[in-house]
Amino acid sequence: MLWAFHLLVAQVGGLMWGLLYFGVNGLRLRRTLPVFVTVASAAWVVIRGPFAAFDSAVAGPRELCAAIVDASVGSDPGWSSVADLASTRWSAWLRGQVPLAVCVGSFEASVHVWLIWLNTDEWRLPEPRRAVWVVLRSRVNEFRLRSARTVPRGATRVGVDDGNGRILQIPDDELTGHALVFGGTQTGKTTTCLQFARSFILRGLPFVGLDLKGEASVVDALRRWAAEAGRPFRVVSFDGPDYYEPYRHGDCSRRAELLVGSGRWAGAPDYYRNNALTYYQDVFAVLDATGNETSAGSLLGDLVELGDPAVLATRAATIPASHPEREDLLRRVAASTELVRGDSAAISGFVTQLRGLDASALGRWLRPAPGHGEAPGFDVDLFEAVDERGDAPLPVVMFSLASGVGQVAAGALGTLIVQDITTMTNELIANDRGVTSGLVWIDEFSALGGVDVEHLLARGAASGLRVLLSTQSLEDLAIAAGTDAAAGRVLDVVGMVILHRTKDPASAERLARTAGTRVWIKERRVVEASSAAMTVGARGGTTGTGMIEYDPQSPVLRAGTLQAFGRGEFALISAAGPQRRVIPRARTIPAAGAARPAPTIPTTAAASVTLREEDLEAPTTEEVVRDAEAPQTPDQVHTPRSQSRFRAYGLEEFDD
């Protein structure tokens, strides 16, 4: 009956119903499309006038019925007038139907689509295509991110969410639980991490980076952003140019823990480490008592020489007689040297490690910066990089250590840096000097093992420092730490995980499980072998009985999705915000450099380098499920110093 009504009376309404109905069910357009068309056409009818729209819609049937009645009673010109009327007036009749017919047809399509949705099992509903406005919004936001010259307050823009086309913005508060970025080579992992680095640097917030790949492009990008923000840039690498000597700050216990903690103690008895710690506490006490004058050109060189008990005893004999603790120090040194002489292997291996670090290419930079007239360079002090009490811009500190070149030295120094940062966070907490918001980025942290990084994660949040970790796979961390449990512990500690492409199936499966599970239904076909063979031979397919399987542990994020990601694509899993959110697919969009010239700042040779933008592939269709997203409202609370830096750097904020 409905088809007959549309065919005889409301042809335009039937056409609209067919287009929307088959568009939703055949082309997988959004199920809300008929509703939008209904609302828009209803507004059109109201604006035109309901009575006028109705009169125009029924004009064709009314005139045609009148002509048929006249012809049936024998009036001139008879039945030929009906055919002439239909052939000359049909286009006007159809145009008159448009406002009301579109409204009625789209309403019918909305009802039919709703009834189909209501009576169809959820797992059988096809996933709709991306809406046109989502695609347009995505392209507009991509352009905004690529051309952005400023960063928002209290948040970091990392890319575009493919699900809704909006800018993916991560508030600083959501980073309080730290973040972990996974991704293989050429996946966009480093670009994603650099988005966080750029945001913190341009906002004038504390930033310390440790790159165990030693990529020159990363250093160039950070140098350029530091210049844009008017901040000094300090970099320590195999080629310098800045200097780092962490053993001169703090009491003897702190310095001895830093020194001994940088050693490799795997497989050694526990008392070897304890003996080395006690011995070097006495070494630092003797150095303090004798004025900390170095005889080997660097403190590290002196620590190597003082690893010989005879040299330590000779140095202790030079303690001034007026020193109040001279006798106590001599007694302690005598006990330490006697202990080491009794078991020379207790510290000999560790001293050999220190000697190798001092003789490496990094060793020349592990000392104070030279005086005027010598090679340029600055002393790197991590406390200076996070101390927000002064008015001077905070320096941006980057340690670029290529672990493939001088791997042993890079690993030892990297471990030392992590321990130095951890010790610094402990002192910030103890002295109630927590920072407003700072970032510590450790790239390829798996080369350091898991224990020291775990300690940093445990203490970083309380001091205001956010830790951003990045690595290629879970296996790298397990191998470096010597245990599979290390990867699980790190995953348990961090509040946010960003997953780029992972080729290894086992690693992809484990990482996908971090998104959680859901209750889902699987439908399978049960086919008899004989029936299947006959059917395949006849029609190339199989038939059988459907079997419904209830799965209460179906993954929200599938491992195949991670393996199929293109360059720059990633999934985000966050449990640190007000609500847990899972974003199955997003794309990182690198921002362009600043157009204005960089100001002159007191730093080493700073060159303006354009960061290479990675080509992004178009997203592929995947069956994914999105959890309810948390409101992405950035934190607007800043200290007076932070606000002054916003004004100085000309930062602005705009809504999505």
The domain locations on the chain are 2-124, 139-244+372-516+556-649, 250-365, 517-555
- Rounded-to-integer distance, Cα 374 and Cα 357, Å: 23
Q: Is the pLDDT of residue 321 over 80?
A: yes
| pLDDT surpassing 50 at residue 613 | no
CA gap 143, 148 in Å, rounded: 8
Average pLDDT over residues 468-477: 81
pLDDT higher at 631 or 311: 311
Looking at residue 265, what is its pLDDT?
74
Integer Cα distance of 38 and 140 in angstroms: 28
Report pLDDT for 33: 85
What are the phi and psi torsion angles at 484 (to 5°)? -70, -20
Q: What is the pLDDT of residue 606?
A: 32
pLDDT computed for residue 640 by the predictor: 34
Residue that wins the pLDDT comparison between 137 and 2: 137
What lies within 8 Å, CB to CB, of 598 at 6+ separation is: 224, 227, 228, 606, 608
Q: What is the identity of the amino acid at 504?
A: D
Quick one: average pLDDT of 570-586? 85
Decide which of 98 and 39 is more confident: 39
| Range from 193-202, 440-449, 516-525, 593-602 that averages highest in pLDDT | 193-202
Q: What whole-number percentage of the chain has pLDDT above 70?
A: 75
User: Is residue 421 over pLDDT 50?
Assistant: yes
pLDDT of 646: 34
126-155 per-position pLDDT tens digit: 777 777 778 888 899 889 888 888 888 889
Task: Tell me: cis bond preceding 152? Omega within 30 of 0 counts.
Answer: no
Please state whether 96 falls in left (phi above 0), alpha (psi between -120 and 50) or beta.
alpha
604 pLDDT band, cuts 50/70/90, is very low
Dihedral sign of CA atoms 414, 415, 416, 421 in order? positive
Q: How far is CA 96 from the centre of its chain?
A: 55
> Please, what is the Cα angle at 595 between 590 and 599, to 5 degrees?
110
Q: 580 with 557: CB under 8 angstroms?
A: no
CA distance linking residue 474 with residue 489, whole number of Å? 11
If pLDDT is split at 50, 70 and 90, which confidence band does 271 have? Answer: confident
Least Cα distance to 104 among 11, 15, 38, 22 occurs for 38
What is the CATH superfamily name and number for domain 139-244+372-516+556-649?
A: P-loop containing nucleotide triphosphate hydrolases (3.40.50.300)
Give the separation between CA 410 and CA 447, rounded to whole angstroms: 9
More confident residue, 482 or 511: 511
The pLDDT, as a whole number, for residue 1 is 54
Q: What letter represents residue 280's amino acid?
A: Y
Output the pLDDT for position 200: 94
Q: What is the mean pLDDT of residues 41-59?
A: 81
Of 18-32, 135-149, 316-330, which range is least confident? 18-32
Q: What is the pLDDT of residue 232?
A: 93
Q: Which range has the worst mean pLDDT, 4-18, 236-250, 423-437, 457-471? A: 4-18
- Tell me how far apart the alpha carbons of residues 256 and 354 are, in angstroms, rounded to a whole number: 13
Q: Which of 47-61, 573-587, 633-647 has the lowest mean pLDDT?
A: 633-647
Say whether pLDDT at 60 is over 60: yes
- pTM tops 0.75, yes or no: no
- pLDDT for residue 395: 92
Quick check: 373 pLDDT over 80? no
Averaged pLDDT score across all residues of the chain: 76
Can you give the pLDDT at residue 546? 58
**Mean pLDDT of the region 324-328:** 88
Written as one string, the DSSP assignment of 488-513 is HHHHHH-SEEEE-----HHHHHHHHG
Please check the confidence at residue 545 and state whether its pLDDT lies above 50. yes
Please give the order of strands across the beta sheet that includes 465-471: 167-171, 155-161, 581-588, 569-574, 496-499, 179-182, 465-471, 438-443, 207-211, 396-400, 233-237
**DSSP helix/strand/coil, 25:** helix
444 pLDDT higher than 80:
yes
Q: Which of 318, 330, 326, 333 is nearest to 283 (CA)?
A: 333
Tell me what pLDDT residue 210 has.
92
Q: Is the pLDDT of residue 532 over 50?
A: no
Q: Residue 440 pLDDT more than 80? A: yes
Residue 457 pLDDT exceeds 70: yes
Torsion of Cα atoms, 332 then 338 then 341 then 342, to 10°: -130
Q: What is the mean pLDDT of residues 571-588?
A: 86
Contact 15, 7 (CB under 8 A): no
pLDDT of 598 strictly over 70: no
User: Residue 163 pLDDT more than 60?
Assistant: yes
pLDDT per residue as tens digits for the range 212-266: 888 889 999 999 999 999 999 999 988 878 888 887 777 888 888 888 877 777 7
What pLDDT sits at residue 641? 35
Q: pLDDT confidence of 506, banded at 50, 70, 90?
A: confident
